[in-house]
Structure 1
Amino acid sequence: MLGLQFDKYSDFGFLIKVDKCQLNHSSFYKRKLSKTSFKKTKLQEVDFTECDLSSSAFDDCDLQNVIFKNTNLQNADFRSSSNFTIDPENNQIKGAKFTLETVLGLLTKYNIKIEPNF
């Protein structure tokens, strides 16, 4: 499924569980998606602007070019996902979970180079 506009649907009774899907180019603008589980899913170029994704889990997801802007990501889990960029200054990330490898997605805007120790 590509380019779905989930922001057009009523909030009443809206619930989504995503497992092994491809939702590239979709929009979840201003959706309340707290505690949502995204598993083994391609979410490339998805718009999560102003969403509530608190306590959501992104398990083995490809988040290339996803838009996180004014998004509530508190306690969200990004430990096994890849290719994301999140601006800590424009999103709520308190308690979000990352690994050492994935935390680099928080530093992209600073255009710094991080190299391994030898």
Structure 2
Amino acid sequence: MNLPLITDQDYTKVDYTKTELPKAECHNCTFVDCNFSATQLSNNMFIDCEFVNCNLSNVNVKHTTFKDATFNECKLIGIVFTECNPFLMSFAFIKSNLSFSSFFECKLNKTVFDTCYLENVEFSKANLSQAIFKDCNLFKSTFNNTNLEKANFKTSYNFYINPQLNSLKLAKFSKEGALNLLKIYQLDID
């Protein structure tokens, strides 16, 4: 599918719930204070694009390509990232809310989650090797058969990761976080 090419454009305060974003291949574009809530982003391409203070909650991302996309202070609630085009998928999430989203089976090596709220996020069967979870709240997020090798959780909290069901080789945790890994054993530790 050949999409029209849009490069080096800045979009500010556009409400895409009223004005539909045209299907396009966007390169090096910036979206600031835009509302995409519950819109169709399916079959679009976002390469080297940045989203700042945008609402992307419940968007449809079926077959959408995100390569080197950065989300800064965005609301990304309920997005099924599993439906994205997996080829070259890469993100950085900074000060964003991704609650109730799904990364089931996604390949997210080296992905950065910096100061994000990640309540009830589905990470099962994802490859998060070398991912960085910096100052993230992972309350009730699910890790099951997830590759977390060399991932960094040193400053994150409220996570429950079963070491018997996930690959944790060389993953980094604070002392408190490492004790959290022992919850499965119901130990009484003073």
Paired position in structure 2 for 1:42: 117
Structure 1 length-normalised TM: 0.94
Q: Kindly provide the amino acid, as one letter, of the partner of residue 175 in structure 2.
A: L
Structure 2 length-normalised TM: 0.59
Please give the per-residue CA displacement for 1:76-98, whole angstroms capped at 9, x wherever unaligned: 00000000011111100000001
The one of 84, 93, 112 equivalent to 2:159 is 84
Measure the CA separation in 1 of the matches of 2:166 and 2:88: 26
Post-superposition offset of 1:104: 2.1
Paired position in structure 2 for 1:107: 182
The one of 64, 88, 96 equivalent to 2:171 is 96
Q: Does 1:64 align with 2:128?
A: no
- Structure 2: state its 5+ residue gaps: 1-75
Post-superposition offset of 1:14: 1.8
Paired position in structure 2 for 1:27: 102
Please give the per-residue CA displacement for 1:15-69, whole angstroms capped at 9, x wherever unaligned: 1110000000100000000001100000011000000000011000001111000
Measure the CA separation in 1 of the matches of 2:78 and 2:95: 16
Deviates more, 1:106-115 or 1:16-25: 106-115
Tell me which of the two structures has the higher relative contact order, counting C-alpha pairs closer than 8 angstroms and 6 or more residues apart.
1
Measure the CA separation in 1 of the matches of 2:149 and 2:179: 18
Percent of matched pairs sharing the same residue = 39
Q: Kindly provide the amino acid, as one letter, of the partner of residue 70 in structure 1.
A: N
**Larger-gyration structure (1/2):** 2
Measure the CA separation in 2 of the matches of 1:50 and 1:97: 19
Paired position in structure 2 for 1:2: 77
Structure with greater strand percent: 2
Equivalent residues, number: 115
Post-superposition offset of 1:111: 1.5
Alignment RMSD (CA, Å): 0.8
Q: Kindly provide the amino acid, as one letter, of the partner of residue 31 in structure 1.
A: C
Q: Does 1:75 align with 2:150?
A: yes
Runs of 4+ in 1 over 4 A off after TM superposition: none
Paired position in structure 1 for 2:9: none
Q: Kindly provide the amino acid, as one letter, of the partner of residue 79 in structure 2.
A: L
The one of 86, 89, 114 equivalent to 1:11 is 86
Deviates more, 1:5-14 or 1:45-54: 5-14
